[in-house]
């Protein structure tokens, strides 16, 4: 796929078919993450790959509990009462990009995340960045249950899957603040 087509066509997908993603496809996503640039080529990103449905639902419940408990955002609290997986949207694959806590890691992991979402689109996969899932950083037990060390944090939680339908492409223009010529 041409890069331009991937960049212009990718949208966040929040509804997935109940269809597993083959291992070789998952490996291609991981490769795309690994090929991203990183500050001083430190390559700090580590990948927690989850395809076990019950574990994904379990983590979704933990995020919902945290968000529901925030109180201040009543809208979230109400949203989190539903039974459905409103966090990972029933995606068959969750990849948490984690790293040692550090200054550059969030930038490095974000670059890996966008590489992976574009590569996913190229492979026929929908994806979405799930910022809400970073609430898991406040749940030490949950982190340890999925192999995340205390010195690490979740930086980019991503979901992938075959979409039930593709959202329409959307146009956006750069908000150039100033052109100095
Ligand atoms: C840092 C970040 C956090 C996000 N967190 C969530 C999230 O928790 N849940 C969700 O459904 N979408 C989340 N999104 C997806 C955005 O809502 C989406 O990218 C935005 O609405 C633009 O739509 P598009 O990706 O289809 O272009 C997040 C995106 C980013 C970049």
Q: Dump pLDDT digits (tens) for 144-172.
A: 999 999 999 999 999 999 999 999 999 99
Domain membership of residue 136 (yes or no) is yes
The closest of 9, 142, 122 to 64, measured between CA atoms, is 142
Tokens of 18: 């109940």
Domain membership of residue 119 (yes or no) is yes
pLDDT of residue 163: 98
Q: Dump pLDDT digits (tens) for 88-126.
A: 999 999 999 999 999 999 999 999 999 999 999 999 999
Best mutation site among 129, 135, 136 for ligand 1 pocket (most ligand atoms within 8 Å of CB): 129
pLDDT of residue 70: 79
For residue 18, the tally of other CB atoms under 10 A from its CB is: 10
Domain membership of residue 130 (yes or no) is yes
CATH code for the domain of 40:
3.40.109.10
Domain membership of residue 175 (yes or no) is no
Domain membership of residue 103 (yes or no) is yes
pTM passes above 0.95? yes
Domain membership of residue 109 (yes or no) is yes
Domain membership of residue 6 (yes or no) is no
More confident site: 57 or 82: 57
CA 33 to ligand 1 centroid distance, Å: 18
- With the CA atoms of 128, 18, 31 and 122 taken in that order, what torsion angle do they form, in degrees rounded to the nearest 10? -70
Domain membership of residue 102 (yes or no) is yes
Task: Indicate whether 74 pLDDT > 70.
Answer: no
**Which range of residues forms the domain containing residue 34?**
11-51+88-161
Total structural domains within the chain: 1
CA 139 to ligand 1 centroid distance, Å: 22
């Amino acid at each position: 796929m041409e890069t331009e087509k991937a960049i212009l066509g990718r949208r966040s997908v929040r509804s997935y078919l109940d269809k597993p993603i083959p291992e070789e496809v998952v490996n291609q996503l991981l490769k795309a993450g690994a090929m991203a640039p990183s500050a001083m080529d430190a390559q700090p990103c580590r990948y927690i790959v989850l395809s076990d449905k019950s574990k994904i639902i379990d983590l979704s419940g933990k995020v919902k509990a945290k968000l529901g408990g925030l109180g201040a955002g009543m809208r979230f609290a109400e949203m989190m009462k539903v039974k459905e997986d409103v966090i990972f949207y029933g995606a068959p694959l969750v990849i948490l990009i984690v790293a040692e806590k550090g200054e550059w890691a969030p930038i490095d992991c974000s670059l890996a995340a966008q590489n992976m979402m574009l590569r996913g689109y190229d492979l026929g996969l929908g994806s979405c960045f799930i910022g809400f899932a970073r609430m898991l950083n406040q749940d030490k037990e949950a982190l340890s249950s999925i192999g995340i060390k205390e010195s690490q944090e979740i930086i980019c939680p991503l979901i992938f899957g075959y979409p039930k339908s593709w959202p329409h492409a959307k146009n956006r223009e750069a908000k150039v603040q100033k052109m100095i010529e």
